Structure 1
């Protein structure tokens, strides 16, 4: 009878393949997190098999096209030219990779509870093909306990045991789309895992492609690190959003206040107000922790208050716009023409996930406004979970005529590609939530900060 391989045999074999760059890495979810991972693993000499349920994405990659603005088509062509990359929608091939990285969405339900649909479906797909010696690493942002309480039981259903037959880790993604100073390979990776062997393998894998790893004691700790990073940002953004609302009736400019405070060389870190939170992490992660905390009967008052402030910002912006129209033009929102500048959740990207622009459009139209938009990186509103009724709506060109025709221009996203001086010259009334106009040198009477 053949001798059953020991756990050390599996771990040593995989560690050796990683060290020799002979391992195949599977990346599930070829979006803003997964595709940059594919790039760095290919750049370090690994073979990569990319998985995505969206056949259009797979077809685009095979044809050398990109669907993410900050990853140009030339990069995709270079990935294909290595001869070590393939993209597929066939989850039946999950038995092939030696290491599988899960980069799927973790949204919230309508009741602000974690939606584990994508994680569970992915784990089930892996479990159906899981073989001894594979390493599985979850990268999706989630609540502490997901890796061991949700993913691990699914993977073990077929009889293979974590730490003995396969290895399970968690390493939260730290992508910042559009950031030209920090990319995937230059950002340290926090890693936690189910056991020492899994931790060693997870570290070895990421140490091969990033500047360094930061090991922690468990997968749950690594999951908590990710939430803490984004809750820190959400709470501080809520603070300056509230300060903006406090200072405005006092005639105090919150941007000037923050810029002056930031000159202190210690004890202060600048955060900037805006029209609300967007992106795949900051608006969502705080609610993952509040949900998990309820399981332990722990209150999260501070975090929930920050969430309430940030969630309310689109309504504040719409009211500021309505007040400005009334004060400057003597008219209400009904039948007013409003031109939104910027749909993406942050500047210089084409990422619409959780963008406050969509809520602002909905609120304006509920009050009878006629809304158009311009975004140099988004030609039309894509399908979204919460705002499907807006999908397909096309943007307008940013010309002197379109600016002059609008009763109000609302700055939602401060893209560098927008000619802000042109906006200042031709718009009748500008409501600026990002301080974009003044940063461009415009301080005309047609400008209102919001």
Structure 2
């Protein structure tokens, strides 16, 4: 397995796309270290696509792109502004709350960060916010989409670890709300210190709130419909993705009437590209998953970690610390696909609930997209806003600290994560 790791990182240094880097490094194992037939690599790639739960991913990607093209995002910005625009540093809070609202639509942290950087970033800089602060708020607030359903990361984790996606969706709601509040604290403190003003002179009136809520209601009830539908067996998570596509199409075409044939073609084109990239990574990672099991890597890691401690709390800190470091250098989808089969059995063996671990894991590995040296969301936001990376890193530290404090809190109090799934399932 050392050969795979070395080959993988060498290919990354040469800017090889992730899917190809995983596949090529895994295939080198067949060539150099084993007599296994090459056909197994092809069989594993094909087998990885033959999964009914996996259908949820392309459906939700298409649904998210549809909703972004139908005016829902603009309405949610208005609603977020009604809720928090009067606070000191109003646009920063609008960005954070918008991420919580968008989590139920885009399902992707990078997509949310890119959208907000284009939509809110220029306005924040025009209001006098530093580029580093603006980029830090936008990028780190996008992490909320890692837990708010329908998070694509939770779908992938549930698929790989054979964990109930319905329970994961429910489990992500309270941590997502808490993350919103935790991020608003440093945003407020910094804005207060620097004199960043709110967008509104006073709090919105009830009539303004009611009007904005009416405009945004179709987006706000979407995750509720999904969770209720899955909980009561109306549809499976995969069927929920198909329902999401139909729902987004009807809202965009017949209610908001902003979905035209031209932007529908753009949505399909972008969705095909996004899904192709995700599927390539999934199929390539399946080869690595097979080889790691063949080589006994999960068992070796389990013995190594459990040799250090069997205390669930300490073990969680060790595993999440490893995933945090891994997330700094690997894309979150790849990290989830490669390490879920390794670490999930370990934490389950000491009594950690797989749903609890899934929320913690996806929060930590998704944060890798917001941190150097290879953070996709970080580079996307900094590129759009013209922000030097070193300025971003300095300004993002208080928000990263808030996330780590929240993760620590959730480690010690798993009932916060498990309350809703245990109540409704």
Structure whose alpha-carbon radius of gyration is higher: 1
TM-score normalised according to structure 1 size: 0.25
Higher relative contact order (CA 8 A, sep 6+): 2
TM-score normalised according to structure 2 size: 0.26
The structure with more helix, counted as a fraction of residues: 2
